[in-house]
Every structure is written in C-alpha cells, then in structure tokens.
Amino acid sequence: MELITTDNENLMTVERLEKQGNNLVVHGEIMGTMPVRAVLTPDQARAALKLMKPGVLLFLLTILFRPGAKR
C-alpha cells in the first residue's frame, strides 16, 4: 500500500501491518529508502478518532467501497 502526497509523490510504502500486544505496528519505507516501524497504540487510535468529524468517520467507513483514483 502506498501513501501519496497531494502532488502524487510516494510518501510511504506500507509493507505490512501486524498486531503486537494491544498495538498495531506498521512496517514500511518512507520516501522509498528509509525503513520505518511505526506503532499505533490504543490511546493514539482514540486520539485520532477525536480529530474526526462525523462526516470524516462516515467517509472512512465507506472508503473501501468507493472507486479508486487514477494516477
């Protein structure tokens, strides 16, 4: 999976997600070269939900069923 910038540049390539205890660990590369291992804790996941307005939360729930953008 790729996370891209608004300029369609590769920001991060996510290679895998894994559960580690109560955390979600994201393995990948930033800018195609620097390996990274990011940890999402339950506290941080709850903090992320607080940043979302109801419309964004609804969008997040339906994004899997939307057509992808052509790059």
The pLDDT of 62-71, averaged and rounded, is 84
Model pLDDT, residue 71: 57
Q: Where are the domains of the chain?
A: 2-65
Give tens-digit pLDDT for 8-63: 899 999 999 999 999 999 999 999 899 999 999 999 999 999 999 999 999 999 99
Model pLDDT, residue 47: 96
Q: How far apart are CA 33 and CA 38, in angstroms?
A: 15
Q: Are strands 10-20 and 2-4 parallel, antiparallel or unpaired?
A: antiparallel
Q: Is the pTM of this model over 0.85?
A: no
Q: How confident is the model at residue 69 (pLDDT cuts 50, 70, 90)?
A: confident
Task: Look up residue 66 and give its DSSP letter.
Answer: S
